[in-house]
Structure 1
């Protein structure tokens, strides 16, 4: 089976969204469509697709972060925003190849470092990152609070 990794185009967005919604469940199809179209048009982030027999079976989205990235010393830092491979295509090297394309892209953009994150309870993602050579930089729990209910 030949693996093909290529950049996403606007024509790929519907299929891309159908994969991304499986990972980013808090988003809507409309939100993801808008986000991906903007990324592809503006080129600030890049999205790579894994193709098998003319079907998109996975994707990776990466971008550049100019603000501080936990555990890094340079700027900009290439950042893996998300990576997803359909269950039946996992453990075939697609994620590794997608990550490699993202890292090469970041290096071409002048980055000296590459980073990522995952939820504290996402053991599969943690294992993937460690297997791919990432070092854990920190663990945090983030908090939010609405200010709309405060008395004036």
Structure 2
């Protein structure tokens, strides 16, 4: 097994694995995203190969904004990590994280971070085994807000006069 920086030739395999990791996405969307990452100096994709076969990947970004639990900036951030089911439990994921750490150090980072859904027990266990510590669990909320229909645009315009 070897881990290398992905190239244009790896894009189809990266897109296939990304859809396996994020099934709510599409192959075309992930192919475009992988292509965009190749062109972005603040992102990278490392791919694990067994011979010519792609068996895993890690998507990385260099974050310069707030990262939960981090004490320094920039932070190397694992946006996604995936290992093909047949290769799980064989050190591929750990090797991808180690290469991600090297990438981060080369970018001047002293910390690497990641996230997962709080219900993803496999990912939480993987991160713990790879040396990450959990810093926070978050529940996010969103609410639709309709545009005003009565011509008023601010709450104070609806308030009665003093």
Partner SS state of residue 81, structure 2: strand
Determine whether 1:45 maps to 2:29.
Answer: no
Q: In structure 1, list runs of 5 or more residues that go unmatched.
A: none
Counterpart residue number, 2:79: 81
Partner SS state of residue 82, structure 2: strand
Partner SS state of residue 48, structure 1: strand
Partner SS state of residue 119, structure 1: coil
Deviation at 1:53, TM superposition (A): 2.4
Among candidates 118, 121, 143, match of residue 120 of structure 1: 118
Partner SS state of residue 93, structure 2: helix
The structure having more radius of gyration, on CA atoms, is 2
Aligned partners of 1:15, 1:49: CA distance in 2, in Å?
Answer: 9
Deviation at 1:28, TM superposition (A): 1.5
Counterpart residue number, 2:144: 146
Counterpart residue number, 1:9: 7
Question: What's the TM-score once normalised by structure 1's chain length?
Answer: 0.94
Question: What's the TM-score once normalised by structure 2's chain length?
Answer: 0.88
Q: For CA contacts below 8 A with separation 6 or more, give which structure has more relative contact order.
A: 1
Among candidates 14, 22, 26, match of residue 20 of structure 2: 22
Counterpart residue number, 1:36: 34
